[in-house]
Structure 1
Amino acid sequence: MVTLQKMNTDEFQRYLDTAAADYAKEKVSAGNWEEEESLQKAKDEFSNLLPDGENSENNYLFTILNEKNEGAGIIWLARQSPEKGFIYDIRIKDEYQGKGYGKETMKAIEEKAKQLGMNKIGLHVFGHNKIARGLYEKIGYKTTNVVMEKEVL
């Protein structure tokens, strides 16, 4: 069983310190960005999405707590419209992966979304992240768009 607790300033800063770098690496891996510019682009995106940090309007950043009240990861839900939310990030710490924490966290965030008046949640998953894609499909998420790319040399 997991509990979602609103992220405090220290937790947010720790999250931000690693999230931008990780996001930049994912964008480079996916072939979307060049490595030299990736970190600055990632930082800019985070600044635009979260201008007031963890207190940015229509953004809900949570620390995922396990049954012992230990941090097991984070999840970030944003309101895109009055009825629709979007999960910008979910991170389960390595030692908790493969133990049901991802599935439990998704159930918990769906409950939070309902409490906030949302009736739909979207998310993005990189094509190479097969484990996450499998989880999302298993719990009822459907593919709505597919972007494909080919290098022509």
Structure 2
Amino acid sequence: MKNISLRKMNEEEFRLYFKNKIERYSDVLSENVHEEGEIPSSKARKQLNNLLPEGRKTPNHYLFNIYKDEQTIGFVWIKVEVEKKSAFLYEIFILEEYRAKGFGTAVINIIEDWLKEKEINYFKLHVFGNNTGAYKLYERLGFGIAGINMLKSIY
């Protein structure tokens, strides 16, 4: 797919991304994490601040906007550990109106080429069980299951 590119976020883009990410991650936690105690928005903010203590300048973390031509269509957040030859995809987020049109596949291919240039051998990610669209995409792109968390409600 042509005219797809990744560009590192600037400070203002990161600020807007981070605010939106807290809201989206809070929703994911509400749907998927079944624990008493801390409210999802507080937990999301705390976890994200722990992962990115220096914001977009946190070492080994790469935050990109996804562009189709000059239109932002999503975001990517990756952590690269060169010494382990490993990368972790914290997020690929495609805006709703661009989903199921091949953009996710194109972005993963771009990321994989970028990781190959860095001589990274392993590309890891986590997907929640109810995110069937993402799961199918990753499976189609060759990702395999490395472990499974399971949950049973007992009342």
Report TM bin, short chain. Answer: over 0.9
Counterparts of 1:127-142 in structure 2, within 5 Å, are 127-142=129-144
Unaligned runs of 5+ in 2: none
Name the counterpart of 1:44. 46
Q: Match of 1:121?
A: 123
Between 1:75-84 and 1:118-127, the stretch displaced more is: 75-84
Query: Structure 2 CA distance, aligned partners of 1:35 and 1:96?
Result: 36
Offset at residue 81 of structure 1 (A)? 5.6
The aligned amino acid for 2:74 is G
Q: Under a length normalisation based on structure 2, what TM-score does the superposition of the two structures give?
A: 0.92
Match of 1:3 in 2: 5
* 1:65-117 deviation digits (Å, cap 9, x = unpaired): 11x22111000110246200000011001111111100000001111222223
Contact 2:82 2:118 survives alignment (8 Å) = no
2:74 matches 1:54: no
Q: Which residue is 1:98 aligned to?
A: 100
The one of 132, 135, 152 equivalent to 1:150 is: 152
Question: Taking every aligned residue pair, what percent have the same amino acid on both sides?
Answer: 33
Runs of 4+ that moved beyond 4 A: 33-36
Q: Is the 8 A contact 1:73 1:92 kept in 2?
A: yes
Cα gap change, 1:52 to 1:26, in 2 (>3 Å): same
| Structure 2 CA distance for aligned equivalents of residues 53 and 65 of structure 1 | 21
Equivalent residue of 1:71, what SS?
strand
Aligned length: 152
Q: What CA distance in whole angstroms lies between the structure 1 residues aligned with 2:33 and 2:63?
A: 28
